Amino acid sequence: MLLLTTLRQEKATVLAGLAKRNLSNAEAIIDRVIALDDRRKELQTANDALLAERNKLSDEIGDLFKSGRKDEATAKRERVNAIKDEVAAGESDYAAVVAELEAQLVQLPNVPHALVPAGKDAEDNEVFRPHPGPLPTLGPDAKPHWELATTYGIFDLDLGVRTTGSGFPVFTGQGARLARSLVNLFLDYNTAAGYTEYQPPLLVNEDTARATGQLPDKEGQMYYVTQDDLYLIPTAEVPLTNLYRGEIVSPEQLPIQLTGYTPCFRREAGSYGAHVRGLNRVHQFDKVEIVEIVQPETSYDRLHAMVEHVAGLLTALGLPFRILRLCGGDMGFTSAMTFDFEVWSAAQERWLEVSSVSNFETFQSNRLKLRYRSENGIQLTHTLNGSALALPRIIAALLENNQTPAGILMPAILQPYLGKEMLLPV
């Protein structure tokens, strides 16, 4: 959530940034927010004055009774009673203003960093780091991963339909082992780089989802357990970041680096067509996440370090990839800057997104009330997160790019986890 001081003191800069997101009503919302905040302050001042008057009168009433001035004491007591009614009305008005202020603020997305390109959608994203050299090509007999899955017994979409519905693949045999091996590899890679591993809950409450910005922005994309008022997580970022909600950390604790593996659940409403076949887009998938909580002055250095961390993992897997810097119109609601990683699917001859690495600056920490003690007092931290990595499209690319007449050759870094060099037909 954007800071009120920022909206007041840097309104022109905020509007210029939000223009990159093509937000047409930003100025109207900001003006309404400022007016509501002014009204909130007026109500608070008036309420404080009433409380001070009540306290003063209460002190005087006792003295008046003691001195025998009963009529004066009674008059002041009547005023105290009237003040109680005025305070109650003022508190009601204050609560209504604060509620509307919050409702207006949550409509405003994060302000993109100055280096974020303007644009409407994915077509306007910037290729930040292209893949060096030619992309791999396969022969005419190459198969897409959904056909290889049957030959090699990797996953079964029909079983998922039978048990749950479309978009819930069932990994089987060496496919299940491949998924488990990738999770272990990713966690080991992350912990070796200094991240502490966590195993967080898969369901979160409304406060948790709101703190990291999933609510109210992505409410329609989350699975909701009505009876218990809980949400299935769309990513481990949500519970991991919330582990520090409401905390004031010391500078010596920063940067805080967390990693965790979880299944992730996304409704992906409105996703249809050939581009979502197989594992290209599913409702449940496994992902290993990295999260960082850092001092503001270091956050963009940490962002680029996280980008290099993910790039190193994809390089070790031998997958051709490129890095995009997302434009304002394609960037997530909470992000100030996002880099997307795409791997090349040689059989489908298209790029597949496998990771997003983002800096949220103070947008999440303001909602989280996640702060640190600095030389200038208590300040908000910056938060960052990234996928390292999501499994479905990684598996798709590994199957498609590494298929040979003899089998599917696995990258050397994965072979010790998998216990074999090659996946064989079943």
Q: What is the mean pLDDT of the chain?
A: 95
For residues 330-340, average pLDDT: 97
- Please indicate, yes or no, if residue 131 is contained in any of the structural domains: yes
Judgement on whether residues 163 and 100 belong to the same structural domain of the protein? no
Kindly report, residue by residue over 177-232, the tens digit of the pLDDT: 999 999 999 999 999 999 999 999 999 999 999 999 999 988 889 999 999 999 99
Percentage, residues of the chain above pLDDT 90:
89
Integer CA distances (angstroms), 389 to 45, 202, 287, 414, in order: 51, 17, 6, 14
Judgement on whether residues 401 and 355 belong to the same structural domain of the protein? yes
- Please indicate, yes or no, if residue 117 is contained in any of the structural domains: no
Alpha-carbon gap, residue 280 to 285, rounded angstroms: 11
Which of 176, 132, 130 is CA-nearest to residue 153? 176
Alpha-carbon gap, residue 365 to 247, rounded angstroms: 10
Judgement on whether residues 257 and 285 belong to the same structural domain of the protein? yes
54, 75, 105 - which closes a domain: 105
Judgement on whether residues 131 and 94 belong to the same structural domain of the protein? no
Q: What angle do CA 62, 50, 63 make, to 5 degrees?
A: 10
Least reliable range by pLDDT among 11-15, 102-106, 214-218, 359-363: 214-218
49, 80, 105 - which closes a domain: 105
40, 71, 105 - which closes a domain: 105
Pick left, alpha or beta for residue 46 (phi over 0 → left; psi -120 to 50 → alpha; otherwise beta). alpha
Which of 335, 256, 350, 260 is CA-nearest to residue 302? 256
Summarize the annotated binding site for L-serine as residue ranges: 235, 266, 289, 385
The answer, yes or no, to whether residue 274 has pLDDT greater than 70, is no
Least reliable range by pLDDT among 177-181, 269-273, 278-282: 269-273
Give the structural domain span for 94.
4-105
Q: 226 by DSSP, 3-state: which?
A: coil
- Report residue 134 CA to chain centroid gap: 34
Summarize the annotated binding site for ATP as residue ranges: 266-268, 282-285, 353-356
pLDDT of residue 222: 95
Q: 398 by DSSP, 3-state: which?
A: helix
- Please indicate, yes or no, if residue 371 is contained in any of the structural domains: yes
- Please indicate, yes or no, if residue 343 is contained in any of the structural domains: yes
- The token duo for 408 is 């599917």
Judgement on whether residues 292 and 260 belong to the same structural domain of the protein? yes
- pTM: predicted TM-score of the whole model, two decimal places: 0.93
pLDDT of residue 146: 96
CATH of residue 395: 3.30.930.10
CATH of residue 73: 1.10.287.40
**H or E stretch at 241:** helix 237-242
Alpha-carbon gap, residue 142 to 348, rounded angstroms: 9
- Please indicate, yes or no, if residue 116 is contained in any of the structural domains: no
Judgement on whether residues 372 and 338 belong to the same structural domain of the protein? yes
Judgement on whether residues 24 and 86 belong to the same structural domain of the protein? yes
Band of residue 275 on the pLDDT scale cut at 50, 70, 90: low
- Please indicate, yes or no, if residue 331 is contained in any of the structural domains: yes
Alpha-carbon gap, residue 247 to 245, rounded angstroms: 6
Judgement on whether residues 57 and 142 belong to the same structural domain of the protein? no
- Please indicate, yes or no, if residue 202 is contained in any of the structural domains: yes
Band of residue 64 on the pLDDT scale cut at 50, 70, 90: confident
Judgement on whether residues 92 and 154 belong to the same structural domain of the protein? no
Judgement on whether residues 160 and 83 belong to the same structural domain of the protein? no
Alpha-carbon gap, residue 68 to 89, rounded angstroms: 33
Alpha-carbon gap, residue 397 to 392, rounded angstroms: 9
Q: What is the DSSP letter of 22?
A: T
For residues 31-60, average pLDDT: 94
First to last CA, the chain: 52
Kindly report, residue by residue over 118-167, the tens digit of the pLDDT: 999 999 999 999 999 899 889 888 999 999 999 999 999 999 999 999 99
> Where do we find the tokens 């009614």?
85
For residues 244-265, average pLDDT: 97
- Please indicate, yes or no, if residue 188 is contained in any of the structural domains: yes
Judgement on whether residues 86 and 138 belong to the same structural domain of the protein? no
Band of residue 40 on the pLDDT scale cut at 50, 70, 90: very high
Q: What angle do CA 87, 92, 93 make, to 5 degrees?
A: 95
Q: What is the DSSP letter of 279?
A: T
For residues 36-40, average pLDDT: 97
Summarize the annotated binding site as residue ranges: 235, 266-268, 282-285, 289, 353-356, 385
Judgement on whether residues 99 and 176 belong to the same structural domain of the protein? no
- How many distinct structural domains can be found in the chain? 2
Peptide bond into 216 cis (omega under 30): yes
Peptide bond into 411 cis (omega under 30): no
